[in-house]
Amino acid sequence: MTIDTNQVRTPLREMAEAEFEHHYDCDRFTATVLSNRFGYIVEHLCGALLTTAFSPILRDWYDFAATVAGPPAEDYLTPSLSNSLVYHAGAMMDAVRNTIEEFGADRLRPGDIIIGNDPYRTGTHVNDLLLCRPVFGDGEILGFISITAHQLDMGGLVPGGFSGTKRSVFENGLVISPRRLYERGEPVAESFALILDNVRFGGVIEPDLRNIEGALRLGERLLLDTVRRYGRGAVLGAMRYTCDASAERIAAGLAALGDGVYSGEDLVDADGLDDSEEYRVRVRITKRAGRAEVDVSDTSRQMRTSINSSVLDAKTAVMVALKYLFDPGGSFTSGSMRPVDLIIPEGTMLSALPPDGAIFLYWEATNALLSAMLRALAPALGADAIAGDVASCNIHNANGVLADGTPWLSGAQCGGEHGPWGATRHGDAESYMSVYQANGLDPAVEAIEADLPLVLMRREPVIDSAGPGRNRGGAAVLKDSLWLVPADHYSMPLRFKVASGFGVNGGSDGATGGVWYWDGRDGAPPRRAVDEDVYGDATPVAGMLDPATHARCRDGEYVYFARQPVWQTRPLATFRYITNGGGGWGSPFEREPERVLIDVRDGYVSVDAAVREYGVVVTGDPETAPEQLQIDHAATEALRRSHLDGPR
Partner 1 sequence: VPSGPITEETLGELIGRFHVEYERRFGQRFEYLPVQGVTYRVQLIVPAEKVNYPAAPEADDAGSAPAPVETVELRHLEHEPIATPVYERTALRRGQRFDGPAIVRESLATTFLLPGQRAEIGPLGEIIIATVAASERSAA
Which residues contact partner 1 by CB under 8 A?
A: 48, 51-52, 54, 203, 207, 210-211, 214, 217, 627
Give the nearer residue to partner 1 in terms of CB position, either 216 or 318.
216
Q: Name the nearest CA neighbour of 569 among 482, 494, 455.
A: 482
Give the nearer residue to partner 1 in terms of CB position, either 54 or 192.
54
Give the nearer residue to partner 1 in terms of CB position, either 51 or 297.
51
Q: Produce one character per residue of 513-540: b if its CB has 16 or more CB atoms within 10 Å, e if not.
A: bbbbbbbeeebebbeebeeeebbeebbb
CB of 47 to partner 1, least distance (A): 12
Give the nearer residue to partner 1 in terms of CB position, either 211 or 299.
211
Give the nearer residue to partner 1 in terms of CB position, either 7 or 51.
51
Give the nearer residue to partner 1 in terms of CB position, either 53 or 429.
53
Query: Can you tell me the distance from the alpha carbon of 285 to that of 296, in angstroms, rounded to the nearest whole number?
Result: 9
CB of 213 to partner 1, least distance (A): 8
Q: Residue 192 to residues 17, 189, 206, 465, 536: CA-CA distances in angstroms?
A: 51, 5, 8, 48, 51
8 A C-beta contact, residue 605 and residue 597? no
CB of 223 to partner 1, least distance (A): 17
Is 385 in a helix, a strand, or coil? coil
Give the nearer residue to partner 1 in terms of CB position, either 204 or 236.
204
8 A C-beta contact, residue 582 and residue 466? yes
CB of 463 to partner 1, least distance (A): 22
Query: Can you tell me the distance from the alpha carbon of 243 to that of 27, in angstroms, rounded to the nearest whole number?
Result: 16
Give the nearer residue to partner 1 in terms of CB position, either 404 or 627.
627
Give the nearer residue to partner 1 in terms of CB position, either 15 or 188.
188
Q: Give the helix ranges, DSSP H, for 382-467.
A: 445-451
Q: Residue 597 to residues 463, 605, 620: CA-CA distances in angstroms?
A: 14, 9, 11
Q: Name the nearest CA neighbour of 443 among 466, 465, 410.
A: 410
Give the nearer residue to partner 1 in terms of CB position, either 214 or 506.
214
Work out the burial of residue 130: count CB atoms within 10 Å of its CB; fewer than 13 is exposed, 13-18 middle, 19 or more buried: buried
Q: What are phi and psi of 459, to 5 degrees?
A: -155, 100
Which residues have a Cβ under 8 Å from the Cβ of 530 and sit 6 or more positions away? 462, 463, 478
Query: Can you tell me the distance from the alpha carbon of 380 to that of 267, in angstroms, rounded to the nearest whole number?
Result: 22
Query: Can you tell me the distance from the alpha carbon of 501 to that of 250, in angstroms, rounded to the nearest whole number?
Result: 25
394 phi-psi bin (left φ>0, alpha ψ -120 to 50, beta other): left
CB of 211 to partner 1, least distance (A): 6
CB of 112 to partner 1, least distance (A): 17
Torsional sign, CA 23, 27, 28, 32: negative
CB of 52 to partner 1, least distance (A): 5
Cis peptide before 355 (omega within 30 of 0): yes
Give the nearer residue to partner 1 in terms of CB position, either 52 or 439.
52
| DSSP track, 445-478 | HHHHHHHSSEEEEEEEEPTT-SPPSSBPPPPPEE
CB of 193 to partner 1, least distance (A): 16
Paired residues of 546 in beta bridges: none
CB of 222 to partner 1, least distance (A): 14
Torsional sign, CA 107, 111, 112, 117: positive
CB of 601 to partner 1, least distance (A): 11
8 A C-beta contact, residue 96 and residue 108? no
Query: Can you tell me the distance from the alpha carbon of 414 to that of 579, in angstroms, rounded to the nearest whole number?
Result: 12
CB of 114 to partner 1, least distance (A): 20
Give the nearer residue to partner 1 in terms of CB position, either 185 or 407.
185
Give the nearer residue to partner 1 in terms of CB position, either 53 or 359.
53
Q: Name the nearest CA neighbour of 461 among 614, 578, 588, 611.
A: 578
CB of 209 to partner 1, least distance (A): 10
CB of 153 to partner 1, least distance (A): 18
8 A C-beta contact, residue 101 and residue 75? no
